[in-house]
Structure 1
């Protein structure tokens, strides 16, 4: 066989092998990878089942903390994530120079204060110290919530994401101690009052209804804390990704979410453009504050 014919035969063989591979069981081009930090919760199991019934092949990709799912999305390791509110997303976009985009709302989960074996806010005052998440957006939300419940006084309550430096310690009833969001559960288990994100309550076997105080999800000021499905800007109109939002709002998923959150989650139905408007406003305020 001539060199030319050998080369041609090799090309045909390679093409045939590629074709067989593409047609085989190893093809996962139709898999939608969804990043989340609370994949063990009941609503996710129901969600994947309902998505399958709608012809969507969903693979949940778990992450141990909040710093990873957006990076994974930006780097193309996942297709979409659902773990964050718009304030968190805005802070990430502004500080990372990215344009990750919300495509549909899910719910608002109140941010709450917990104190093991206590049910009175006066007990928190007596404890003198509260652990709060140290990521910028949840830290700011926690401080606003503590201020609304008269445990701390902010020097300027118009600041979008205050830090402990913005707390007037002389006028406040307690001191705040920022820790990693996952460590707020440890603080709680060690007998300290703590503001704990809903995603971590299961890890500490904490009843969401045992909160001593929380923010108001019905307030207009709560809009930045709407949770959402988020993807890269160039995929915001992907029909399969949009269908994930519809699946999330199906009756079975919502029933599972209400059971999981013990009725504390508040369903929100806002589309991508509505969420982008809120996000743009929050991002602009973050940039102004720098």
Structure 2
């Protein structure tokens, strides 16, 4: 499964289901090699056109293995290079084609860090597994967008009309918060990252929602007032991001659960080498390549470690309270 493949991560029958991640920005990267459950495909530096480390250089570098679902993306070449030349790191990406394997691999010590998930996904995992994986830095956020083929303005939506939204838990809650921000519906109590259609205050809302498979939201556009479409599905349907009627604000508090992070085991979370990896990720040369790849649909986030750990703690508390 590539990062652009839309299937929901599978879980074994004795593993609590973890909600799907929102789609990542559309990538021009190649396909990933598939592997069976629990297996790893190690993307060695040599495979990225980086020369092997030799001689005394090896002794001066701190090796870090990083689990990711996007190891084929070109920016990893630059990240590996910057990590070595500026931060004294030997960065080795480890590619996963199954989202459900990356956190267990980190927890079990198969990798040092992982970089693939947002805070809501991490909170769901920690709560389900009683784990303590911890952010060591923030990376990016991808805004969710509302499209329409019938209207050019939100105020043109018909009273009682339907808006298609993704039906998986993570994206559905985010879509509801988006529609609330757009003034199209109201959620009881203001809503949160666990909201469902049952939380809609119908008397105070202009539209109704029609939950469908995330991959079908764009296809539903001709028959609804509008649709909340994930980035990759919008790209597949040739929807122009600049024509979206509304996007969630990446700086808004309601977007905080969807900040992507670099995670570590709690006992290793304050490792200075991991802080250097975060710095390397945010180097301009790396970010320029990411911006080029995503065509401006991904926004860099540089929140403090204290902030993202606080958001994670809040999300975990909400999840536990909801059980």
Contact kept, 8 Å, 1:111 with 1:215, in 2: the verdict is: yes
Q: TM-score, normalised by structure 1?
A: 0.72
Partner of 1:9: none
1:207 & 1:69 partners in 2: Cα distance? Answer: 32
Unaligned runs of 5+ in 2: 1-53, 55-61
Q: What pairs with 1:210-229 in structure 2 (closer than 5 Å)?
A: 210-229=243-262
Whole-Å separation in 2 of the counterparts to 1:186 and 1:250: 37
TM-score where L is the length of structure 2: 0.65
The correspondence for 1:87, drawn from 120, 134, 154, is: 120
Specify whether residues 178 and 189 from structure 1 end up closer, same or farther in structure 2 by C-alpha distance, changes over 3 A only: closer
- Which of 157, 174, 190 is equivalent to 2:208? 174
Decide whether aligned partners of structure 1 residues 191 and 67 sit closer, same or farther in structure 2, where only a CA change above 3 A counts.
farther
- 1:230 matched to 2:260: no
Q: Report if the CA contact (8 A) 2:146-2:247 is conserved.
A: yes
The offset of 1:118, in angstroms, is 7.0
Aligned to 2:83: 51
Classify the secondary structure of the residue corresponding to 2:92: strand
Larger radius of gyration: 1
Q: Contact 2:163 / 2:228 at 8 angstroms: preserved in 1?
A: no
Following superposition, the deviation at residue 161 of structure 1 comes to: 1.7
- The answer to whether the aligner puts 1:70 opposite 2:100 as a matched pair is no
Higher percent of residues as helix: 1
Contact 2:67/2:102 (8 A) holds in 1: no
Q: Is the 8 A contact 1:51 1:58 kept in 2?
A: no
Q: How far 1:100 moved relative to its partner? A: 0.9
Aligned pairs, number: 256
Q: Is the CA contact (8 Å cut-off) linking 1:185 and 1:201 kept in structure 2?
A: no
DSSP-derived class of the 2:93 partner: strand
Q: Is this contact kept in 1: 2:137–2:308, CA < 8 A?
A: yes
Deviation at 1:215, TM superposition (A): 1.1
Secondary structure at the aligned position of 1:258 is classed as helix
> Which consecutive unaligned segments of at least 5 residues does structure 1 have?
1-24
> Secondary structure of the residue that 1:216 maps to in structure 2?
coil
The alpha-carbon distance between structure 1 residues 118 and 138, as it changes in their structure 2 partners (threshold 3 A), is same
3-state SS in 2 of match to 1:72: helix
Residue 232 of structure 1, CA deviation: 1.6
Q: What are the superposed Cα offsets for residues 46-74 of structure 1, whole Å, 9 maximum, x if unpaired? A: 4344335444232241335x444323333
